[in-house]
């Protein structure tokens, strides 16, 4: 029973995003239904009116169009009341000149508990978590950051785009993609051959210039979008 209880609070990659009704700055929302047909990034922050979180929200908003160009929406979350979110959004607009357009969940703690966002040693504050959910409502990426470290939003955009390309073309992304130091700029990894016949075919295709191989298990090609 203990293992089942632990499993319930810790969604894993490949799991369906748990259904939840939440209160937000855009009204009451049903997730993941609200984003049906779209990818979305749900990110939690420790609290409103805190310095690192403020810089993150500005960075997310400034890149909001890039996310939307990837058919991806944003939604924030913390254990704060709606009026706190609203006043914080007003402060950001008045003092930093940035208007936050995406919704922010005002959590009672229930959503955070469901998603495993409360660190036992941090009281009721949520950790800096990122959930990337695809257009079918499946959790594809989970990233956790400590309270002391603000997130790199460009990396989250890279991750969303990389997963979408992987799904579309059946390829994998090398380290530092799209600027790989090993396979080259805009090159993607061909999944390793699973049998001898496929391995032989790889070499034949590499001879024809369809892709390049360091060995039968490490082949790559330039992505032609």
Which are the catalytic amino acids?
Answer: 53
CA–CA distance, 184 with 215 (Å, rounded to integer): 16
Query: Phi and psi of 90, rounded to 5°?
Result: -60, -40
Q: Helix, strand, coil % (nearest 5) of the chain?
A: 35, 25, 35
Residues 6+ apart with CB under 8 A from 19: 30, 31, 32, 33
CA–CA distance, 201 with 206 (Å, rounded to integer): 8
CA–CA distance, 218 with 40 (Å, rounded to integer): 32
CA–CA distance, 187 with 193 (Å, rounded to integer): 18
């Amino acid at each position: 029973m203990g293992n089942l209880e632990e499993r319930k609070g810790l969604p894993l990659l490949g799991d369906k995003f748990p259904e939840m009704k939440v209160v937000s700055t855009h009204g009451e929302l049903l997730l993941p239904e609200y984003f049906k047909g779209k990818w979305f990034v749900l990110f939690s922050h420790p609290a409103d009116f805190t310095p690192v979180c403020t810089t993150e929200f500005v960075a997310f908003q400034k890149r909001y169009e890039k996310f939307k160009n990837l058919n991806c929406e944003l939604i924030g979350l913390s254990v704060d009341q709606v009026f706190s979110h609203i006043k914080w959004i007003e402060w950001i607009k008045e003092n930093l000149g940035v208007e936050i357009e995406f919704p922010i969940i005002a959590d009672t703690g229930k959503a955070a508990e469901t998603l495993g966002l409360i660190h036992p040693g941090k009281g009721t504050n949520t950790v800096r978590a990122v959930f990337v959910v695809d257009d079918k409502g499946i959790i594809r990426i989970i990233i956790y950051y400590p309270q002391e470290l603000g997130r790199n939003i460009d990396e989250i955009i890279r991750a969303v785009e990389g997963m979408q390309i992987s799904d579309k073309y059946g390829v994998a992304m090398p380290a530092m993609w799209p600027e790989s130091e090993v396979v080259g700029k805009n090159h993607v990894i061909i999944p390793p051959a699973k049998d001898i016949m496929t391995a032989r075919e790889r070499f034949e295709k590499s001879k024809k210039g369809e892709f390049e191989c360091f060995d039968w298990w490490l082949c790559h090609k330039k992505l032609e979008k």
